[in-house]
């Protein structure tokens, strides 16, 4: 094999191994004022971070930087990218999290 081909293969290998680092994790902070459900998890009034990786079908709920729960769901395509991050709820139950600048939303199961 020529040096040029070996060089190209090495570059492609590096790109393939580092591509997961390019994946974007979406984060949103919520501050429920009363007890709120998300999946099977009850959140008390306070501040929480929601983190989601588009490659996974789960949403992590963090309190003070620590994961306190993981909620399963699915990604759904939105007709347009929302200008602001939004949490959609039905009463006191969070059903969807829309992330600013993304045409996908996390739908809680």
pLDDT in tens, 31-86: 999 999 999 999 999 999 999 999 999 999 999 999 999 999 999 999 999 999 99
Q: What domain range includes position 91?
A: 24-108
pTM value surpassing 0.85: no
Domains in the chain, number: 1
Strands 36-38 and 93-98 turn out to be: parallel
The pLDDT of residue 18 is above 50: yes
The answer to whether position 31 is within a domain reads yes
Radius of gyration of the chain (CA): 18
The answer to whether position 28 is within a domain reads yes
The answer to whether position 15 is within a domain reads no
Nearest to 98 by CA among 67, 69, 75, 71: 75
């Amino acid at each position: 094999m020529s040096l040029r081909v070996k060089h190209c293969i090495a570059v492609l290998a590096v790109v393939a191994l580092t591509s997961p680092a390019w994946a974007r994790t979406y984060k949103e902070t919520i501050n429920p004022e009363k007890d709120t459900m998300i999946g099977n998890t009850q959140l008390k009034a306070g501040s929480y971070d929601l983190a989601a990786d588009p490659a996974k079908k789960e949403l992590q709920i963090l309190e003070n930087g620590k994961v306190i729960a993981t909620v399963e769901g699915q990604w759904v395509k939105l007709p347009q990218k929302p200008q602001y991050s939004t949490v959609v709820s039905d009463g006191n139950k969070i059903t969807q999290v829309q992330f600013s600048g993304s045409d996908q939303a996390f739908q809680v199961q």
